[in-house]
Amino acid sequence: MHLEGECVTPEQFAGVMASLDVLPSAHIAVGVSGGPDSLSLVLLMHQWVQRGGGQVTALTVDHGLRHESAHESTQVNQWLDAKGISHHTLLWRGPKPTRDIQSQARMARYSLLKNWCEAHDVTYLSLAHHALDQCETFLMRLTHKSGLQGLCGMRHKVRLGDSNIILLRPLLSFFPEDLVTTLKQWGQDFYTDPSNDDIRFERTFWRRHLLGSTSHVYRFFLSFQSKLTAVWDRFAQEALENAPLNFRCGYATCDIQWFFAQSVEVQAWTINRLLAYVGARRYPPSPQGIKKLMLSLVAGKKNHTLHGCIVCLKAPNLWVGREFRSMMQIDVVPAHQDYVWQEHFHVQHGLTSIITIGSLGKAQAPKMRSLNPTMPAQIFWGLATLREGEKIVGLSDLLHHPEMRFVFQSNYPLDPIFSEKHQS
């Protein structure tokens, strides 16, 4: 790569953190693998929080995929302990995948980091993605025919899923050579991950193709992506302010006349928002799936399935609910606890009787129809339902019990600017 590394100065790093609106008095967790990127980040972050009396905790995830990983975690602990930085190793336990290894490891890594932050009341989690990672992400998503939002790439500051954890990426403006130079100036050793040279992985493939590029090529990618991001942010903000979307307890609606009066881009954005919220999966719907769904909607097809959801056209709304077949599970809800059903429905009650939760189903739907006569039957059947024996005491957000609290929490935030896929 024809880039000359320049040391990242404390002033540069402080300027980035100021732009992220984070104070040096904060407690910040930093993901540290032992490579030059993450070690540079944790040392820069540790240096920066000294200005405000803050705290840095380094977190290393040992995936257990390589024999050397345990030794490397121990070495990282020794390096950071010498710098006065607190360090913890998080273990990925259980059977390991034999296929799609990088993706599965990434999901496990994010889950372990998020869980640690939540358990220790730490709001900020910082990761060491840099400018070359951003270029690779752009090319990977371009080849996968990602939409405009996906091509915007990784954000400097985002919410992590439906949690209160804020993900920070302060190094997106710096190249890996800058980070290596920074470590060399400090006399800090580091490890190199051998998977970075394994061309079986898509990211490594693109990295190899970019290695011969000049700095002008990278600057072009980053500049173009920055312009795309600005366009998307303006568009998404206007759409969010004007769209007649209604997000409810496990379902959502959009005014059907407004929807069909919009451009294709706005329609795609709307479908994405509704499916991402109701489906509540770790990732948003695929662009290819949304494209097929939109073609079916324009053709006048009334019912569709995608992303674990059913989409129905029934005036006055476009309706999105969870697929009935995915809501067949019935559980007993223990009293005086925050019980979570199917990962996203949170229930609390103080009753002495036995309370169960499941879907409404077809058999009992007719006697509850008056609560919402316009809702499509396929969505009505799948509404989350609380029962006391055979008696229905709670139905989504249509029927409430005074001694119960019942809410739906999606994995995908409603703010389209403050959200993204989990990425490495």
CATH number at residue 92: 3.40.50.620
User: 2 falls in which pLDDT band (50, 70, 90)?
Assistant: very low
Mean pLDDT score, 295-314 = 92
Q: Print the domain residue range for 290.
A: 243-424
224 in a domain, yes or no? yes
Predicted TM-score (pTM) above 0.85: no
Cα gap 125→57, rounded to integer Å? 9
How many other C-beta atoms can be found within 10 angstroms of the C-beta atom of residue 23?
Answer: 12
383 in a domain, yes or no? yes
* SS3 at position 339: strand
Q: What is the pLDDT of residue 21?
A: 94
Q: Which of the residue ranges 38-42, 196-200, 397-401 would you say has the lowest mean pLDDT?
A: 196-200
How many other C-beta atoms can be found within 10 angstroms of the C-beta atom of residue 377?
Answer: 15
- Domain co-membership, 213 together with 262: no
- Domain co-membership, 193 together with 84: yes
- Domain co-membership, 216 together with 260: no
Q: What is the pLDDT of residue 130?
A: 92
Domain boundary among 229, 253, 274: 229
- Domain co-membership, 259 together with 383: yes
- Domain co-membership, 212 together with 316: no
Q: Considering the chain, what is the average pLDDT of its residues?
A: 85
Q: How large a percentage of the chain has pLDDT more than 70?
A: 86
Q: What is the pLDDT of residue 207?
A: 62
User: Going along 110-258, which residue ranges are E strands?
Assistant: 124-126, 157-159, 166-168, 245-247, 251-255
Above 70 in pLDDT, residue 213? no
Q: Which two tokens stand for residue 149?
A: 């939002």
Q: What is the pLDDT of residue 197?
A: 57
The backbone torsions φ and ψ at residue 262, rounded to the nearest 5 degrees and listed phi first, read -90, 165
Q: What is the pLDDT of residue 215?
A: 62
User: 209 falls in which pLDDT band (50, 70, 90)?
Assistant: low
- Domain co-membership, 225 together with 254: no
- Domain co-membership, 303 together with 369: yes
36 in a domain, yes or no? yes
Cα angle 220, 224, 227; round to 5: 145
- Domain co-membership, 223 together with 250: no
- Count the domains in the chain: 2
- Domain co-membership, 410 together with 325: yes
**pLDDT, tens digit (0-9, with 9 covering 90-100), for 80-95:** 999 999 999 999 998 8
- Domain co-membership, 150 together with 43: yes
Above 90 in pLDDT, residue 26? yes
Domain boundary among 162, 196, 229: 229
Choose between 320 and 209: higher pLDDT.
320
**pLDDT, tens digit (0-9, with 9 covering 90-100), for 311-370:** 999 999 999 999 988 788 889 999 888 898 988 899 999 888 999 999 999 999 999 999
Domain boundary among 176, 203, 229: 229
Choose between 243 and 23: higher pLDDT.
23
- Domain co-membership, 174 together with 310: no
